[in-house]
A and B are shown apart, each in its own frame.
Chain A
Amino acid sequence: MSARVLVAMSGGVDSSVAAAMLHEQGYDVVGIAMRLTPEGLPAPTRRRGTCCSYEDFEDARRVAERMGFPFYVIDLRADFAARVIGNFVAEYLNARTPNPCVMCNREIKFDRLWSRARALEADFVATGHYARIESTPGGTFHLKRALDGAKDQSYFLFTLGQRELARTLFPLGSMEKSEVRERARALGLRNADKPESQEICFVPDGDYVSFVERAALSAEIRRGSIVTGDGRAIAEHKGVHNFTVGQRRGLGIAAGIPMYVREIRAATGEVVVGSRDQLNSAGLIAEQVRMVDPAWFEGGEIALEVKIRYRHPALPARLRMLSEERADVRFEHGGSAVTPGQACVFYRGDEVLGGGFIERAVEG
């Protein structure tokens, strides 16, 4: 009997090709689409109940029918609301900039979905992520960047440990995006030329500020002042959730030189601004740190590269663990716009060593 793989399918071209390829390779594929986002009702309706006719799910279903493997939609909205959306809102209100894709991977795709997979006797969970998993003869699993550097999504996957990697497949890790589209066309998949999804799935209009305000109680909104480095208040603002470190637009202040958000202080509601060079930090403190292979890490100070935002290049740095889950990371040449709440992911070359979430920047 061939190994059963539960493939998370969004209806997009990547997960469709991932599922189709595994099916062609002889795996016993079960396609699963996850209902995650609480959808609003279409405007002109008085009807009760929920509307859930996702065109995207229909695309995924068509792929499954075409390839001939079973496909189901499962409802993980409650888990997603509690573990991903709740965290997203709380982080913004707490003056941090969350990364919901990392949380969704950690809490939903490689946790809740795995529970479902076990109930269905699946041996693996697969997704259309661009990243690679390699194993060494000793039975250690390594998480690596995708070969297509422009598409590499390993940053979002650093929370996967040995246990998760052992049961996960990333069929697209060694492919270029253009190859994936070609493959989709060759397989006759109707979503071969579907555009990439860009926004966070539960904020389709990209307006995070309004989303947070709708989800929060008014007492939770932290208003305060925009201040300069020397503590001088230069304007008032409507809540710390309007800001992220490194932000330049929308500050509502006029200054001779471009001003950027350097720091957001949750306790006082102060948003500290400064010039571009003032965004530089010597390092950061990371929390909730996990290593992909804890056995590899022997303590002391180690050299590695750290990526502090998805679209930023990895920066050379030195890491020292402060406790089991906290680390002090110092950049070799400084780093710009260290943003609390964002993931900081540790690399050595192509390999993801681990990562954590940024607690705060470290000066000098």
Chain B
Amino acid sequence: MRIYLDHNAGSPMRPAVRDAIADGDIAGHGNPASIHRAGQRARRALEQAREQVAALVDAVPRAIVFTSGGTESNNLAILGAALSVGGGRKRIVATAIEHSSVMAPLAELEGRGFEVIRISPDRDGCVDAEVLAAAIRHDVALVTLGLVNAEVGAIQEVAAIARATSRAGALFHLDAAQAVGRVPVRVEDLGCDLMTISAHKIGGPAGIGALYVRPGINLAPTMLGGPQESGMRAGTPNLLGAIGFGVAAEAVSDALEDERGRIEILADALLNHLLGTIPGLRLNGRREGRVASTLNLTFPGVLGESMLIALDLEGVEVSMGSACAAGAVEPSHVLTAMGRSAAEARSSLRISLGWSTSAKEIADAAEIIARVWRRVANAEPADNAEAAR
């Protein structure tokens, strides 16, 4: 029996998505850029997917640029915006808790003469919108932040930030990879110019994502070649992926409210059970104002790495920090930015629920997590583990 509780890393494909991809015949064999009918058929499939994804975030279809995923969308948004905005704007405002696919392009731009301001969150992972807005002056090219934090689920208030960005004439990018499908996301309500969406976080296939680009904005492409995707992303799009993405978007649109309520109840039940059975357990983040399906927990007296492996051997799949290329885990920079010590970050795990999570799984997981924690805490007391650090 496996219990998958790592939906923030990637949700299992929804049955309708599987079916659509298995029946790849929808798209035929053509290239959507070709003139002939095979090409036209492929193009129709691609455009239908674009409409479905656009509808999910209440955007016009032509604002959707397909990419290879959240990472590419973030790269295109940040590098593309910074390199296309002129007028001596050399400043970027971000936060200290962004995804690596945001942090790495920002570091790259720092090397090319940009100044990056990184606003720290409070202890719950929330960024003070007024503080961030105050940093948005007239030399700012881009403001970028995650709408929902991947590791702790904190939801950021962005209205004031959107207004300040607009006043300053800068571009506003939201990384909504963890928000879409978890909370209602409408580009007009949020007031963003650019928004990252990832398919496999909502039960679509991995390897496809999108960047919403407000019509009228032209980003410098990071992938050079043909004129696909309004000239902002060259290359034949991942057609089967896009079809799956579209189906997932439609499924999420239909199910969001029901799914959200159901998952919230399960997540609260799990949290309450663990708080009741593990003395000293701490939720990282507020109980309110976050995506309930993300539980980032500091387990007292254990190394998260040992807990993670012990849980996997018992069939419960969770995560910690971010995996390195070799498959070891690094402590979360988000938690340290929230004021947790490195030792606390090393004792923290992320449990994330999603559309496939059942009540039975949560009941079983609650019992297994509490039992494994007791065992690991006894076997490898953290004071012993920390003594070496």
Taking Cβ atoms with an 8 Å cutoff, the residues of A that contact B are: 30, 33, 35, 46-54, 57-58, 61, 70, 72-75, 78-79, 82-83, 112, 115-116, 118-121
Given contacts A33-B326, A75-B330, 17 further A-B contacts (CB under 8 A): A48-B104, A49-B100, A50-B324, A52-B324, A52-B325, A58-B326, A61-B327, A73-B326, A73-B327, A74-B305, A82-B388, A115-B379, A118-B379, A119-B309, A120-B306, A120-B313, A121-B375
Q: Given A53-B325, A61-B327, A74-B305, answer yes or no on A115-B380 (Cβ-Cβ < 8 Å).
A: yes
B306 and A54 contacting across the interface, CB-CB below 8 Å = no
Q: Given A48-B103, A61-B327, answer yes or no on A75-B388 (Cβ-Cβ < 8 Å).
A: no
Bound CA span A97–B375, Å: 41
Distance from B142 Cβ to chain A, minimum over Cβ atoms (Å):
19
Most chain A CB atoms below 10 A, which of B302, B312, B329, B388: B388
Bound CA span A218–B144, Å: 45
Distance from B247 Cβ to chain A, minimum over Cβ atoms (Å):
31
A72 and B379 contacting across the interface, CB-CB below 8 Å = no
Bound CA span A74–B304, Å: 11
A-B contact pairs, 22 of them (CB 8 A): A30-B313, A33-B326, A47-B104, A48-B103, A58-B326, A70-B312, A72-B312, A72-B327, A73-B327, A73-B328, A74-B309, A82-B388, A82-B389, A115-B379, A119-B307, A119-B379, A119-B380, A120-B306, A120-B310, A120-B313, A121-B313, A121-B375
Taking Cβ atoms with an 8 Å cutoff, the residues of B that contact A are: 100, 103-104, 107-108, 111, 302-303, 305-307, 309-310, 312-313, 324-330, 375-376, 379-380, 384-385, 388-389
Among residues of B, the one whose C-beta sits closest to the C-beta of A53 is: B325
For A51, the chain B residues whose CB sits under 8 A away are 325
Distance from B16 Cβ to chain A, minimum over Cβ atoms (Å):
31
For B111, the chain A residues whose CB sits under 8 A away are 46
A115 and B305 contacting across the interface, CB-CB below 8 Å = no
Bound CA span A73–B312, Å: 13
For B384, the chain A residues whose CB sits under 8 A away are 115
Bound CA span A52–B330, Å: 11
A72 and B309 contacting across the interface, CB-CB below 8 Å = yes
Among residues of A, the one whose C-beta sits closest to the C-beta of B388 is: A79
A70 and B313 contacting across the interface, CB-CB below 8 Å = yes
For B108, the chain A residues whose CB sits under 8 A away are 46
For B305, the chain A residues whose CB sits under 8 A away are 74-75
Among residues of B, the one whose C-beta sits closest to the C-beta of A47 is: B104
Q: Top 3 nearest A-B pairs by Cβ distance?
A: A118-B379, A53-B325, A119-B379
Among residues of B, the one whose C-beta sits closest to the C-beta of A78 is: B389
Distance from B384 Cβ to chain A, minimum over Cβ atoms (Å):
7
For A112, the chain B residues whose CB sits under 8 A away are 388
For B310, the chain A residues whose CB sits under 8 A away are 119-121
For B325, the chain A residues whose CB sits under 8 A away are 51-53
For A74, the chain B residues whose CB sits under 8 A away are 305, 309, 328
For A53, the chain B residues whose CB sits under 8 A away are 325-326
Most chain A CB atoms below 10 A, which of B107, B325, B389: B325
* 8 Å CB contact of A54 from B100, B326, B380: B326
For B302, the chain A residues whose CB sits under 8 A away are 119
Bound CA span A93–B100, Å: 40
A35 and B328 contacting across the interface, CB-CB below 8 Å = yes
Bound CA span A50–B376, Å: 28
Distance from B315 Cβ to chain A, minimum over Cβ atoms (Å):
11
Distance from A55 Cβ to chain B, minimum over Cβ atoms (Å):
9
For B380, the chain A residues whose CB sits under 8 A away are 115-116, 118-119
For A33, the chain B residues whose CB sits under 8 A away are 326
Distance from A256 Cβ to chain B, minimum over Cβ atoms (Å):
51
Among residues of B, the one whose C-beta sits closest to the C-beta of A57 is: B326
For B389, the chain A residues whose CB sits under 8 A away are 78-79, 82
For B324, the chain A residues whose CB sits under 8 A away are 50, 52
For A78, the chain B residues whose CB sits under 8 A away are 388-389
A57 and B306 contacting across the interface, CB-CB below 8 Å = no
Bound CA span A119–B307, Å: 8
For A79, the chain B residues whose CB sits under 8 A away are 388-389
Most chain A CB atoms below 10 A, which of B100, B312, B375, B379: B379
* 8 Å CB contact of B107 from A30, A46, A83, A118: A46
Bound CA span A112–B303, Å: 12
* 8 Å CB contact of A52 from B306, B312, B328, B385: B328
Most chain B CB atoms below 10 A, which of A35, A50, A73: A73
For B307, the chain A residues whose CB sits under 8 A away are 119
Bound CA span A82–B305, Å: 19
Distance from B270 Cβ to chain A, minimum over Cβ atoms (Å):
22
Among residues of B, the one whose C-beta sits closest to the C-beta of A71 is: B327
For A46, the chain B residues whose CB sits under 8 A away are 107-108, 111
Among residues of B, the one whose C-beta sits closest to the C-beta of A79 is: B388
Among residues of B, the one whose C-beta sits closest to the C-beta of A77 is: B328
Bound CA span A322–B107, Å: 60
B328 and A75 contacting across the interface, CB-CB below 8 Å = yes
Distance from B23 Cβ to chain A, minimum over Cβ atoms (Å):
30
Q: Given A73-B327, A75-B305, answer yes or no on A83-B388 (Cβ-Cβ < 8 Å).
A: yes
B375 and A119 contacting across the interface, CB-CB below 8 Å = yes
Distance from B73 Cβ to chain A, minimum over Cβ atoms (Å):
19
Among residues of B, the one whose C-beta sits closest to the C-beta of A120 is: B310
Distance from A12 Cβ to chain B, minimum over Cβ atoms (Å):
15
